[in-house]
Amino acid sequence: MAAVTGVHVHRVAQSAAREAAGHQREAEFEAVVTADPRSRSGMPRPGRAEWVVEARTAWVRGRDGVRASRAPVVVLASGRGWHELLPGQTFRARGVFLGAEDEPLTAALVLVRGPPEGMGGPGGLQSFAGLVRERLREASSGLPQPERGLLPALIVGDVSAVPQETVEDFRATGMTHLLTVSGANLAVLTGFVLAAARLLRAPPWCSVAGGAAVIWVFVLVCRPEPSVVRAAFMGSLGLLALATGRAHAGLGALGVTVVGVLFVAPGLAASFGLALSVLATAGILLLVPPWTRAWSGWLPRPVAEAFAVAVAAQVAVSPVLVLLSGELSWVAVPANVLAAPVVAAVTVAGSAVAALAVPWPDAAAVAAHLPGLGAGWIAAVAGVGARVPHGALPWRSDLVGGLFLAAVLAVLVFTHGRFRRVFAAVVVAVLVLGLAARCVPGGWPPPGWALVACDVGQGTAFVLSTGPGSAVVADTGEDPEMVDDCLARLGVREVPLLVLSHDHADHVDGTPGVLRHRRVGAALAPPGFGASATGRLLAGAGVELLEAERGQRLRVGPWLLRVLWPEPGFTGSVNDASVVVRADGRALTVLLTGDIEEEAQRRLLEGPDADLLPVTVLAVPHHGAGTQVPAFLEATDPVVSVTPVGADNDYGHPAPFTWNVLERVARVNLRTDRDGDVAVLDGDGSGPGAAVVRGPDSAR
């Protein structure tokens, strides 16, 4: 395998694509698509590539003419036609070749603008597979979300329509493996065919032919990528091992399969997905038979087997999962146990819908409602599990943490007698005490908090408490997960008003994290915001969009919000068009400034609302950039200034000039890169009692 990998690395390093990337120059090329194009993660933005297309170049036209170059590349593309490409289809394009850092088996990243050209037709089999996937999406389109996107994901691994909120729920409950085709899907389908053949008393050759046909169609429709081939092998091995009861033979075959897959795609040697798949399969082969026998004495055998499969897989993959998440989930096992029987039924019924959708799409649309019910149950299990308080315990996400967890699990699984019982009691006691420590009052947030500035990296997110579990959120940062985590720490379940200052990624792209499992009543945003990607997202979620106007007054809980800017007809920069809001609470006054710069600050100083600028808490404009009017900062006369800024950011925020002014005008100056989440207390209505900092996230 090392020799084969060396050959691959050498071929990529000597390719024309790698040479073009070394000079970061534009070149024309022809390539063959190797995987379905997928939409780029994150909110779409002008100038940002929309599609990610994995391909293999055929030739590259460089300075020395055309050179043959069979090298894998990742195309980042925008324009029409990209999402329609199928594996095996050729295309020509012109783009800028860039180096793929830390990816020795990827020759280049290619930035392409405009549609693909000179497209060749896909093969007949790939066209058939594409038709099946398309018809399955159409048959599912009559279902509500998340079932509409979840059904194709469960059947053929097509996650293009799965809501991001559902993806996060599956991740939080250890059910992400259900969103990708796996050996479990193939084992269910093959087992169904073999059971049907046995029921019909068909000869052995019929069973073999039926199983082979299922595997062939499965690989074709779910795409013959290395991960799908691996899933086919592992599903077959799991079925073989469970049918014969020969766990050791299964482990030997598993080892041979892994080596074979890595010969075809050596890049998977560094894949977390491969590691998790191999560990889960090995755990099931080793642990399920003895655990099922032991637990069948006090549980019905089907229940014991389902529980054993879920526990064995989770035990085997946990040392790797903590490297990815930094958490040890205890909801994963019950969630997978509750979902497993339904997954099997949905796999069989959904596959029947996919087969029906090609000749009779209308009938398939009706039939899709049956597996849609099962998909709804699976989504509900993931949603409820994701909302369980303290569903995961923090754990070291480095090699030491992974090895320590592996050692603990090995002792629990492979030792016997009194030592294991004592050791298990100690582990349970430590975990229970750790969970209890997280639930003890007096941590974060501090009692009586009125305002919190969330540490969301190089972005802005402020939270104004309107009562238990309820808050106004002003801007959302760029990372949905970070703002969701901040709101979860604060216990915010309802957002009566979301204020979005302007359509820049570091202020609005975290909006999906605010919407996750929370009811958002309305959103206040600049004029024309509804046409943006975030505006469309809010409309799709049923959130009323209010257009900000100077002089507008909104009462939300104890807060009176007054819009001070922009003035009607303002045509300045996007930053200067930020919505500026003064919030008056019981004891605090807060000025939320977005990213306003010199022009807007001067006009606010000279405008009719200049007397409303003095506040107790100032959200420093534009992350403390140097584009400030000192007189404006002085006019706000804050007790506390909070600068939302990311650690070691590339912009040099906050600028030394701005920080010097703040040190002069405010009593307390805090910043999220050094202080983490910042809370300001209301002082029991008598003025700001304190500013409390949580401390920066040690993981960042």
Instruction: Please enumerate in sequence order all residues whose Cβ is within 8 A of that of 596, keeping only pairs 6 or more positions apart, or say none.
Output: 565, 575, 576, 578, 580, 604, 621, 622
How much is the average pLDDT of 528-554?
92
Confidence of residue 347 (pLDDT cuts 50, 70, 90): confident
**Two tokens, residue 567:** 């003035």
When mean pLDDT is compared across 30-34, 70-74, 224-228, 364-368, the lowest value belongs to 224-228
Question: Looking at the domain that runs over 2-122, which CATH code has it been given?
Answer: 2.40.50
What is the 3 state secondary structure string of 590-653?
EEECCCCCHHHHHHHHHCCCHHHCCCCEEECHHHHCCCCCHHHHHHHCCCEEEECCCCCCCCCC
Average pLDDT, rounded, for the chain: 85
- Tokens for 264, please give them: 């075809």
Identify the band that residue 196 occupies on the pLDDT scale cut at 50, 70 and 90: confident
- pLDDT of residue 546 exceeding 80: yes
The answer to whether the beta carbons of residues 295 and 308 sit under 8 Å apart is yes
Question: What average pLDDT does this structure show over 523-540?
Answer: 92
Rounded Cα gap, residues 163 and 358, in angstroms: 25
pLDDT at residue number 248: 56
pLDDT score recorded for residue 35: 83
- Would you tell me the crossing angle of helices 369-386 and 147-156 to the nearest 10 degrees? 100
d(CA 406, CA 413): 10
DSSP run (H or E) holding 589: strand 589-592
Percent of the chain with pLDDT over 90: 39
Condensed to tens digits (0 to 9), the pLDDT of residues 255-285 reads 878 888 888 788 888 878 778 878 888 888 8
The answer for residues whose C-beta is within 8 angstroms of residue 233's C-beta and 6 or more apart is: 183, 257, 260, 261
182 backbone φψ class: left, alpha, beta (φ>0; ψ -120 to 50): beta
pLDDT in the model for residue 477: 95
In the structure encoding, which two tokens stand for residue 365, read together?
């649309």
pLDDT above 60: residue 691: yes
Q: Identify which of 386, 337, 378, 384 has the alpha carbon closest to the alpha carbon of residue 146.
A: 378
Q: Write the single-letter amino acid at 31.
A: A
User: Could you write out the DSSP letters of every residue in 247-272?
Assistant: HHHHHHHHHHHHHHHHHH-GGGGG-H
DSSP string of 195-231? HHHHHTT--HHHHHHHHHHHHHHHHHHT---HHHHHH
Residue of 698, 618, 694 lying closest to 449 (CA atoms) = 694
Tell whether the model's pLDDT for residue 195 goes beyond 80: no
> What is the distance between the alpha carbons of residues 184 and 341, in angstroms, rounded to a whole number?
12
Binning pLDDT at 50, 70 and 90, where does residue 440 land? low
Please say if the pLDDT value at position 184 is more than 70.
no
Structural contact between residues 552 and 565, judged by C-beta atoms closer than 8 angstroms? no
Q: Give the C-alpha separation, 641 to 390, whole Å.
A: 32
Of 80 and 556, the one with more pLDDT: 556
Query: Which positions ≥6 away from 317 have C-beta within 8 Å?
Result: 276, 279, 280, 283
Q: Name the CATH superfamily housing domain 449-693.
A: Ribonuclease Z/Hydroxyacylglutathione hydrolase-like (3.60.15.10)
Helix pair 183-199, 204-221: axis angle to 10 deg: 150
Higher per-residue pLDDT: 388 or 202: 388
pLDDT in tens, 283-337: 888 888 888 888 888 888 877 887 888 888 888 888 888 888 777 787 888 888 8
pLDDT band at 621 (very low <50, low <70, confident <90, very high): very high
Give the lowest-confidence range in 6-10, 125-129, 361-365, 583-587: 125-129
Signed CA dihedral, 30, 31, 36, 39: sign only: negative
Q: Angle at which helices 332-357 and 183-199 pack, to 10 degrees? A: 60
Considering Cα of 190, then 193, then 197, then 203, what sign does the dihedral take? negative
**Cα separation of 598 and 578, whole Å?**
12
Residue 244 pLDDT level (bands cut at 50, 70, 90): low
- Provide the 3-class DSSP secondary structure of residue 64: coil
**243-247, 314-318, 524-528: lowest mean pLDDT where?**
243-247
Question: What is the rounded (10 degree) CA torsion for 434, 319, 697, 517?
Answer: -80
Question: Sorting pLDDT into bands at 50, 70 and 90, what band is 563?
Answer: very high
Report the distance separating Cα 449 and Cα 491, nearest Å. 12
Neighbours of 336 (CB within 10 A): 24
Distance from C-alpha of 96 to C-alpha of 540, rounded to nearest angstrom: 35
How far apart are alpha carbons 518 and 494 in whole angstroms?
A: 5
HSE (CB half, 13 Å, CA atoms) of 381?
24
- Name the token pair of 94: 């012109």
